[in-house]
Amino acid sequence: MVTEKCAIITKPSAQSRKGEEKEVIDVLKKFYNNIEFSSDNACLDGGDILRFENHFYIGQSKRTNAEGAKQLTKILNKYGYTTSTVPVKKILHLKTGIVYLKENTFIGTDEFINNDIFKDFTVINVDSREAYSANCILINDNVIIPKNFPNSKKALIDAGYKTIEVEMSEFEKMDGGLTCLSLRIPMDNSK
């Protein structure tokens, strides 16, 4: 994961993903002076890290353990960020079910719409039949959303967002979402 102040190399929990983290280090060195690492006993998937301004929600799921959340919190606190944990029970990752858009607005599924952690925010409700579409990305003023989810698209448009649909059906079959396919490096970092 990356912030304006540092990049953090985490350890995925899925055996099939072990070693992936080594592949990105050389690329991140081009952009960051500060690269932090979690230890081997700290499992943490990027899909369980949800940023809201300078606060990070850390999903505790099948893929992210308590030690992973603890180590990420320590690293982020060092750079002036705050964190809190969110239990993830019904889905793979936190960002599978809820994503921050802007101006105190999230888009999410029932598991998070009714969660007290998000009660002070506006949460655009994703129809349960279109839950996959909650994993979307705001870039500039456009919400990039998976294709073929008309109710979610309409809810976003009704909330004042412009949408761009992209074909994601093959990634969906493997539980891959838009946030899984992106590592957005802030271009105003210090390197």
User: On the CB side of 125, how many CA atoms lie within 13 Å of its CA?
Assistant: 9
136 is catalytic: no
43 is catalytic: no
List residues bridging with 105 in a β-sheet. Answer: 102, 122
Cα 12 from chain centroid?
14
Please identify which of the residues 6, 43, 93, 136 carries the catalytic annotation.
Answer: 93
20: amino acid identity, one letter: E
Q: How would you write 32-67 as a 3-class SS string?
A: CCCEEECCCCCECCHHHEEEECCEEEEEECCCCCHH
Between CA 28 and CA 34 the distance in angstroms is 9
Do 47 and 95 meet the contact criterion of CB atoms below 8 Å apart? yes
Please identify which of the residues 6, 43, 136, 180 carries the catalytic annotation.
Answer: 180
Q: Would you please indicate which residues are annotated as catalytic (active-site) residues?
A: 93, 180
